[in-house]
Every structure is written in C-alpha cells, then in structure tokens.
Amino acid sequence: MAAKNTKQSKKDQKAEASGDDGKEVNMAAIASLLEEHRVALSADFNTAVSTLEVKTRRNTLRRLLRSRHTSHERVQALETTCAILTESNAKLLAKVVDLESQLLAEVFGDGVLESPPECDRAHRSLSDKPKPGQRPRPVIMRLHKFQQKEKIIREARAMRGKLHYRGTPISICEDYALEVMEQRSKYREVLSELYNLGLKPALLFPVRLTIVTKVGDRRRFASVTEAKDYIASIRRAEV
C-alpha cells in the first residue's frame, strides 16, 4: 500500500514538473514573438513616417517652386503696368499744366502768375451729372503751392462778376466744408445787395462779413440781420 502511494506520488511529481516546464517554454516563446512583432511594427512605422515626411517635403517644395514662378510672372506684369502708367501720368500731367495755363490766361489775362500752377489733384464735385442746359458741376482743384491759390482767389475777388471762360460767366472761390458752405450761403443775398450799392464786401473764413465803405472805412458784421439793417440805413439815407 505504501509502495503504491510512493509510486503514485512520483508520477504526480513528474507530471507536475513536465507541466510547469511546458508552460515556461510556451510563455517565453510568446514573449519572444511579441517582442519581434513590436520591433518589426516599430521599424515599419518609422519607415512609413520617414517616407511620408519625404513626400510631404517634396510636395511642399513643388508648391513653393510653382508659387515662386507665379509670383515672378505677376511681379513682371506689375512692373510693366507701372512703367506704362508712369509714362501716361507724365503725359497727362503735362496736358493738365498746359490746360491750366491756358485757362488762367483766358480768365485773368497774361501775367497773373509767374509760373503755371502745380496742381496736385482736380476733379468734378460729387453730384449727379447735369442734364443738357443745366449748370455744369463745379470743378475742385488742389494746388500744390498755397501762395498760388491765394493769388488766384484775390484776383477772382477783384474781378468778381467779370470772370468769363469762352464767353461763359464763371466764379472761382475756395472750397469749404459743407457746414461752412451752408452758413456762408446765408450771406449770398446780402453780398449781392452790397455790390449793387457800390461797396466792396468780403466774406472771410469761416463766416465773417466785412466791407469797405465808399470813404474807405472798414466795417464788420456779426450776422446777416446786422448787415441787412446797415443796407436799409444806406437806402434810407439815399432817399
């Protein structure tokens, strides 16, 4: 009985030993295979990333080269256009100077300015195009030298009502802001009456009416009402 137990025990021990060794061998093999797969996947991943980076860089380089070529063509086109516009602008500027000189000569006569005025800018006022027979839109000019502008304005004031261009009456005045123009327009009737009385009125900036009387005195008016009262007093005195 004891011998049987001993034999059975040795058999169990052998089986247990055999089973443990088999498990250890299988786990080691699996671990080794997993490590090999990990290394292989890592290598494949690195290779794929490197290939993708190379392709991306090549595509980026191609796009940059195409963009550079396109930009170069655009710059050349712009330079050509700029050269053409510069030449055209020089010709137009020469024409403007010539026309301005002729205009001043026809309006004021020769000798008003020592040299033709330098015009920085000229355009018609921003209003609807007049219909046939209507008054043309005002022309706004910006002169480069304010001395020339002041002299033209003085000459225009001295020849008020006598300025003509090709037989058409014209007027030359300074360009003011809309608010100032609205205030100055209130003096239009008063100015006309003062001129008819033989006086020399002037509307200083922004809205200051001053006159030179027949005896050479200078008077200033603070409002349209005050100027009308003065005109009424002159008419009463004449009666």
Residue 235's domain comprises 176-239
Q: What is the mean pLDDT of residues 86-101?
A: 75
Establish if 10 belongs to a structural domain: no
User: Which residue reads 């200078």 in tokens?
Assistant: 218
Q: What is the mean pLDDT of residues 151-178?
A: 78
Establish if 134 belongs to a structural domain: no
Sign of CA pseudo-dihedral 173, 175, 178, 184:
negative
Q: Measure Cα distances from 61 to 56, 57, 67, 69, 80 in Å.
A: 8, 6, 10, 12, 29
Query: What are the pLDDT digits (tens) for 55-68?
Result: 787 788 788 878 87
Establish if 235 belongs to a structural domain: yes
Supply the CATH number for residue 217's domain: 3.30.250.20
Cβ count near 151 (within 10 Å): 17
| Angle, CA 213 vertex, CA 207 and CA 214 arms, to 5° | 150
User: Which residue reads 């050269």 in tokens?
Assistant: 83
Establish if 125 belongs to a structural domain: no
Confidence band of 12 (pLDDT split at 50, 70, 90)? low
Number of structural domains, the chain? 1
Residue 22 has pLDDT above 70, yes or no: no
Establish if 224 belongs to a structural domain: yes
Query: What are the pLDDT digits (tens) for 38-54?
Result: 888 888 777 877 787 87
Establish if 196 belongs to a structural domain: yes
Which element (helix H / strand E) includes 139?
strand 139-143
Least Cα distance to 153 among 125, 177, 168, 174 occurs for 174
Establish if 214 belongs to a structural domain: yes
Question: Residue 97: what pLDDT?
Answer: 66
Between 189 and 15, the more confident residue is 189
User: Which residue reads 């002159």 in tokens?
Assistant: 234
User: For the whole model, what pTM was predicted?
Assistant: 0.41
Establish if 87 belongs to a structural domain: no
